[in-house]
Amino acid sequence: MSAETDHDRVAAGIAQSAAALERLREPAHVATIVGAAAIIADALRQGGKLLLFGNGGSAADAQHIAAELVGRFLLERAPLPALALADNGASVTAIANDYTFVDVFARQVAGLGVPGDVVLAISTSGSSPNVLAGVAEARARDMHTIGLTGADGGALASAVDVCIAVPADSTPRIQEAHTVVGHLLCEIVERELARRP
C-alpha cells in the first residue's frame, strides 16, 4: 500500500471540511444559526451590544466577527457595537495575573455587559473553563448567551441559550466551519440592521 502524499492530505482535508459544512446545512442547524442571528440583531436594534470571546483560534474568530460588525461585512451601514474580549492584552494579562486565567472573560463581562446584551462564546471543545465562566457571568447579568462549538457542544451546549455545534470532531474542521457560521451571522445581522432585503 502506497504512503499518503501531501496531495492526498490536501484532498482529504478539503473533503472533510466540505462534509462538515454539508452536515451543517441540515434544517435543525440552519434554524439554530438563523435564531442566533435574530437574537443578536434584536439586541443591537434595542441598543445592546455583542461581546465575543474564546481562546487561541477562537479568539481570532471572535475578533474577526467583531471587525465585520464594527466595520462592515457587505453593506454600507452604521457601525454595530461588538467587542472581542481577547483584544485588550493589558486587561487579559492583568486579570490573569491578579485573579486567574479562568476569570479573564467573566471579569470583562461583569465590567462591560448589561442586561439585554449578547455574549457569543466560542470554544471548539465546549469545555474551556474561562469561556464557561464568561457565559455564567453573562447569564447572571440577564444577558443573552450563544455558544459556537463543535461535536456535542460539551458543557457549553447546556450553559447557553442557543448553541451552534458544528457536527464534526476534528478541531481544524470545526474552526473552518466556525468562519462560515461567523460570516452568516454577520450577513443576517447586517441585513436586519440595514433593513434591506
Percentage of the chain beyond pLDDT 90 is 96
DSSP state of 46: T
Question: With bands split at pLDDT 50, 70 and 90, how would you rate the model's confidence at 190?
Answer: very high
Question: With bands split at pLDDT 50, 70 and 90, how would you rate the model's confidence at 196?
Answer: low
Distances in Å between the alpha carbon of 107 and those of 15, 129, 181? 41, 13, 27
Q: What is the pLDDT of residues 93-144, one digit of tens each?
A: 999 999 999 999 999 999 999 999 999 999 999 999 999 999 999 999 999 9
Q: What is the pLDDT of residue 133?
A: 98
* CA 160-27-179 angle, 5° bins: 60
Reduced to 3 states, what is the DSSP secondary structure of residue 144? strand
Q: What is the pLDDT of residues 8-31, one digit of tens each?
A: 999 999 999 999 999 999 999 999
Residue 187 contacts residue 73 (beta carbons within 8 Å): yes
Reduced to 3 states, what is the DSSP secondary structure of residue 121? strand
Domain-embedded: residue 168: yes
| Alpha-carbon gap, residue 170 to 62, rounded angstroms | 19
CA 111 distance to own-chain centroid? 20
* CATH number for the domain that contains residue 115: 3.40.50.10490
Domain-embedded: residue 1: no
Domain-embedded: residue 98: yes
In the predicted model, is pLDDT for residue 2 greater than 80?
A: no
Domain-embedded: residue 182: yes
The whole domain housing 78 covers 6-194
- The total number of structural domains in the chain stands at 1
